[in-house]
């Protein structure tokens, strides 16, 4: 696939610096350094902290960078081996490289034409391999197990920070190597903020509690959201929850290969709009997940990408009412030819967590 990109853009070589793309292309997990790739060479440049690791994880030629032999010098040496007599055309990751880093390369390398790669390297990660799907499923399974245990211990009086710490500990205990992102625990009025930051607010009886969490297994992320009520739910809470659940189930049913992300988003969004809460659902319906938590394609009104089998998508509609609270329900699914396979198995009916008197 990289050779196809070299041919399509008529490149002599390309440089990859995004840590997730470096791992996907080379197998190197360190995240620090750069890859130089041409038809004749596969070079991994990193510093002394990672050279041994890189040699074990990748079949690329590993070259150590240091003050006396910096990255620009190594890249120049690689270019000299190409025996290019005409203008040198180099591809670079314009969507992730810092301007200051690009300026260094542009000033010190004898490249006549720099070709932005756009999302071409990122797009190589869209369709997952069977091995990747196995890791993603295991990460989501860890989240399922941790959440089941979390429901046994969550109670009024815990702060949001304490609750988040408990859930994170349970994921680590189940085998997570890291978190996919900072865990969101949003209770009561805070649950109306889709990406609320856990704070010192104490969980109270009658609160909506939204838990958005994920972990990594062998580098691959999980993502799941569940919303429950501490104690008995009010009629208003039940109404909002059931609208979100209806939208989520419809969104799941709409996912399959051959449809666009925008069309799936519309199915769920129309249900929320028809219920009178259209203005309370501002974000897209979902996104892809892999080595990074937010990948493409997305399920959103602005993404017309056609879904393919073995892509991963989250389906996560929500209703957020300032001054009242909010609900989000999220599963992570594998796109199939005729539907999707749900990797999340935590219950989705409204959970009313018993409160001891």
Residue 344, pLDDT score: 98
Average pLDDT taken over every residue of the chain:
97
CA distance 62 to 277: 55
Query: So what's the pLDDT on residue 315?
Result: 98
- Contact by Cβ (8 Å): 259, 325: no
- Tokens representing residue 36 in the block: 């130089």
Give the SS3 label for residue 45. strand
| Secondary structure (3-state) at 278 | helix
What's residue 279's pLDDT? 98
Whether 83 shows a pLDDT value over 90: the answer reads: no
Does residue 347 register a pLDDT over 80? yes
Q: What pLDDT, on a 0 to 100 scale, did the predictor assign at position 85? A: 78
Tens-place pLDDT, residues 130-179:
999 999 999 999 999 999 999 999 999 999 999 999 999 999 999 999 99
Asked whether the beta carbons of 109 and 76 are under 8 A apart, the reply is yes
With a cut of 80, say whether residue 120 has pLDDT above it: yes
1-12 pLDDT tens trace? 999 999 999 999
Q: How far apart are CA 168 and CA 178, in angstroms?
A: 9
Alpha-carbon distance values, 259 to 221, 304, 320 (Å): 24, 9, 28
List the structure tokens of 211: 């838990």
Residue 86 confidence (pLDDT) = 83
Contact (Cβ atoms closer than 8 angstroms) between residue 206 and residue 214: no
Distances (CA, A) of 289 to 15, 113, 139, 220: 24, 33, 11, 8
User: What is the mean pLDDT of the segment spanning 242-255?
Assistant: 98
Q: What is the mean pLDDT of residues 91-95?
A: 96
pLDDT digit string, tens, across residues 275-327: 999 999 999 999 999 999 999 999 999 999 999 999 999 999 999 999 999 99
Q: Is the pLDDT of residue 356 over 90?
A: no
User: What is the distance between the alpha carbons of residues 354 and 335, in angstroms, rounded to a whole number?
Assistant: 36
Q: Which helix (H) or strand (E) holds 209?
A: strand 208-213
The residue whose two tokens read 């949001």 is 160
User: Measured between alpha carbons, how far is residue 41 from residues 26, 59, 79, 81, 124 in Å?
Assistant: 13, 11, 10, 9, 20
Q: What is the pLDDT of residues 25-65, one digit of tens each?
A: 999 999 999 999 999 999 999 999 999 999 999 999 999 99
DSSP 354: -
| Alpha carbon distance 85, 115 (integer Å) | 18
pLDDT exceeds cutoff 80 at 357: no
Please, what is the Cα angle at 217 between 346 and 14, to 5 degrees? 130
Model confidence pLDDT, tens digit, residues 168-224: 999 999 999 999 999 999 999 999 999 999 999 999 999 999 999 999 999 999 999
Place 118 in a pLDDT band, splitting at 50, 70 and 90.
very high
Distances (CA, A) of 134 to 148, 222, 257, 276, 284: 21, 12, 19, 40, 26
Q: What is the dihedral of CA 165, 215, 264, 312, to 10 degrees?
A: 180
Q: What string of H, E and C letters represents the secondary structure of 99-151?
A: HHHHHHHHHHCCCCEEEECCCHHHHCCCECCHHHHHHHHHHHHHHHHHHHHHH
């Amino acid at each position: 696939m990289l050779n196809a990109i070299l041919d399509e853009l008529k490149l002599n070589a390309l440089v990859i610096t995004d840590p997730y793309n470096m791992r996907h292309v080379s197998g190197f997990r360190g995240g620090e350094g750069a890859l130089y790739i041409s038809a004749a060479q596969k070079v991994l440049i990193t510093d002394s902290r990672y050279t041994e690791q890189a040699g074990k994880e990748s079949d690329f030629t590993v070259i150590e960078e240091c003050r006396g032999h910096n990255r620009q010098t190594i890249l120049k040496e690689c270019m000299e081996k190409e025996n290019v007599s005409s203008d040198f055309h180099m591809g670079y990751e314009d969507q992730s490289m810092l301007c200051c880093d690009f300026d260094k390369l542009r000033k010190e390398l004898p490249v006549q034409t720099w070709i932005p790669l756009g999302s071409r390297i990122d797009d190589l990660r869209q369709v997952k391999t069977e091995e990747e799907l196995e890791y993603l499923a295991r990460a989501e399974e860890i989240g399922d197990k941790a959440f089941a245990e979390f429901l046994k211990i969550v109670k009024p009086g815990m702060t949001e920070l304490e609750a988040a710490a408990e859930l994170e500990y349970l994921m680590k205990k189940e085998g997570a190597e890291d978190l996919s992102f900072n865990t969101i625990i949003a209770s009561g009025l805070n649950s109306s903020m889709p990406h609320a930051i856990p704070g010192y607010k104490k969980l109270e009886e009658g609160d909506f509690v939204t838990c958005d969490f994920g972990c990594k297994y062998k580098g691959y992320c999980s993502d799941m959201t569940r919303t429950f009520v501490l104690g008995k739910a009010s009629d208003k809470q039940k109404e909002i929850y059931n609208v979100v659940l209806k939208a989520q189930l419809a969104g799941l049913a709409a996912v399959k290969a051959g449809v666009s992300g925008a069309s799936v988003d519309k199915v769920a969004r129309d249900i929320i709009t028809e219920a009178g809460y259209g203005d309370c659902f501002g974000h897209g319906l979902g996104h892809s997940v892999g080595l990074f938590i937010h990948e493409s394609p997305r399920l959103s009104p602005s993404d017309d990408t056609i879904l393919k089998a073995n892509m991963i998508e989250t389906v996560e509609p929500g209703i957020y009412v300032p001054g009242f609270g909010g609900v989000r329900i999220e599963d992570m699914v594998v796109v199939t030819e005729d539907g999707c396979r749900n990797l999340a198995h935590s219950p989705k009916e409204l959970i009313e967590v018993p409160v001891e008197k």
